[in-house]
Amino acid sequence: MASVPNVCGGGWAETKAAYRLLDNARLDFREVLRAHSVPTLERIRQQSRVLCLQDTTELDYSGRPSMAGLGRLNYEQRQGLYLHPTLVISEAGVALGVTDCWHWARLPKGEPDLAESLRWVEGYERVAEMAALAPDTRLVYVADREGDLRALIDRAEQLGFAADYLIRVRHDRKLNDPLDGKLRAAVEAQPVLGTIAFDLPAGGNRPARQVTQTIRLARVELKTRSGPGPQVTVILAREEAPPEGQEAVEWCLITNEEITTLEQARARIEWYRKRWWIEVYFRILKSGCRIEALQLRTRERLERALVLYLIVAWRILMLMTLGREHPEWCCEVVFSVEEWQTAWAIHHRTPPPATPPDLGAIVRIVAGFGGWLGRKNDPPPGPKALWQGMTKLSAYVEAVTAIRAAEIKFPQRKRIRH
């Protein structure tokens, strides 16, 4: 998936057609994303609640002087774009689709530019608009500390909380009380409601371990210049006794919802922990689809390519999450007939069965093409094995289709006896 020529198996003719597609000014990347949003909305409507994850990642195209329309990243010598999508997942963690995406290039220092914080507020507005199209589903906007903006909190209240929000606290805001207290002190003054425990996966230099957190809750009113301010529930989840040498796991979250019980708080902590899926999604985009390796000459070409890769990366993530949550489902909810039959025939060296196998079986086969060994104690297939496996499967399907179209029949090899 490293470049346009690499993904165009039909040689120069197919590559040229792909470049024509990316050059087509009538192909609006927003329309492509909206087309993907239609089936995504249908999947959302089948859920009682979904989590709308938002975050920002940078796309580094430094060293590409021929690519027009880029902007500075953290300093002038680094050039690229910023990407801010909305990834929708179910409460169980199944990726349902991508419904919105901000992307922008910063102007040079000193030139007037849009406030980048707008992406968070507008992101909530798009989620609120989507909520009106799925009235039987409750949408929850989930963001990390960068999304802790008073403008977003106020906008959610103005829209009547069409969607709930769950945001990790960055600012220790003042409260509307006679002592001008602070948000953090208010929740720390509350008694411990109970404890929750979960397994924390390994990351970086941190080993996998079990985490036990105490839970405190406070319902507070944020300060305004005059009159009542917005009310939020503060959830403080703190690891009181981390292992020696390990940093304590602590999250302070705010939500518009009124939370009063340990079980309600536990659910919100689980939702916030699923925010990690958008980080996995970014990894698929960069390491799997290799969107930073694209060598396109204009920003317009790049925008059209990016939206296509957003959908490709979602499919990989959906395949991974759905295979974990619903391995018993029929494989044809994800794979075409040609895909699963080809995968089965290559893996088993036998004709595919008349009845489609379950999803888990085909996911494991495809992950095996990507290097997943499937040993007894191995974890479920991850994104890397699946994107590499899907790349190989695509080539296998293309080869089988060409052989069938050409009606090629290979002669049987004769065994040589010594």
Taking 50 as the threshold, does the pLDDT of residue 17 lie above it?
no
- Please tell me the distance from the alpha carbon of residue 193 to that of residue 214, in angstroms, as a whole number: 7
The better pLDDT of the pair 88, 407 is held by: 88
State phi, psi for 15 to the nearest 5 degrees: -65, -45
Mean pLDDT of 333-345: 93
Q: DSSP code of 212?
A: E
pLDDT band at 15 (very low <50, low <70, confident <90, very high): very low
Task: Please state, rounded to an integer, the average pLDDT across all residues of the chain.
Answer: 87
Banded model confidence at residue 302, pLDDT cuts 50, 70, 90: confident
DSSP 322: H
Name the burial class of residue 27, with classes exposed (0-12), middle (13-18) and buried (19+) by CB atoms within 10 angstroms of its CB: middle
CB atoms within 10 A of CB 136: 9
* Structure-model confidence comparison of residues 137 and 111, the more confident one: 137
Q: Which DSSP helix (H) or strand (E) runs through 250?
A: strand 250-255
Position 274, amino acid: K
* Helix residue ranges, H only, 228-298: 262-273, 276-283
- pLDDT value at residue 4: 46
pLDDT beyond 50 at 357: yes
Q: What is the pLDDT of residue 379?
A: 85
Residue 344's pLDDT is: 95
| pTM of the model as a whole | 0.86
Please, which residues have CB within 8 angstroms of residue 331's CB and are 6 or more apart in sequence? 340, 356, 357, 358, 359, 361, 362, 363
pLDDT at 407: 79
pLDDT score, position 23: 56
Model confidence at 376: pLDDT above 90:
no
Q: pLDDT at position 377, please? A: 82
| Average pLDDT score over residue span 138-155 | 96
Question: Residue 380 has what pLDDT?
Answer: 87
229, amino acid identity: G
What was the pLDDT predicted at 232?
Answer: 96
Read off the tokens for 136. Answer: 């039987």
Helix axes 29-45, 118-133, angle to 10 degrees: 50
pLDDT-derived band at 116, boundaries 50, 70, 90 = confident
Neighbouring-strand partners of residue 180: none
pLDDT for 8 equals 43
Whether the predicted pLDDT of 210 surpasses 50: yes
Q: CA-to-CA distance for 288 and 316, rounded, in angstroms?
A: 9
Is the pLDDT score of 358 beyond 70? yes
Query: Phi then psi for 253, rounded to 5 degrees?
Result: -120, 150
Q: Is the pLDDT of residue 404 over 90?
A: no
Q: What pLDDT, on the 0 to 100 scale, is given for residue 10?
A: 45
Q: Is the pLDDT of residue 66 over 80?
A: no
- The mean-pLDDT minimum among 106-110, 224-228, 246-250, 309-313 falls in 106-110
The yes-or-no verdict on residue 67 having pLDDT over 80 is no
Q: What one-letter code names the amino acid at 134?
A: A
11 pLDDT tier (thresholds 50, 70, 90) = very low
Question: Residue 203: is its pLDDT beyond 90?
Answer: no
Determine the 3-state secondary structure of 380 from DSSP: coil
Phi, psi of 349 (to 5 degrees): 60, 30
- Mean pLDDT along residues 69-98: 89
pLDDT at residue 262 in the model? 97
Asked whether 95 and 383 are in contact (CB, 8 A), the reply is no
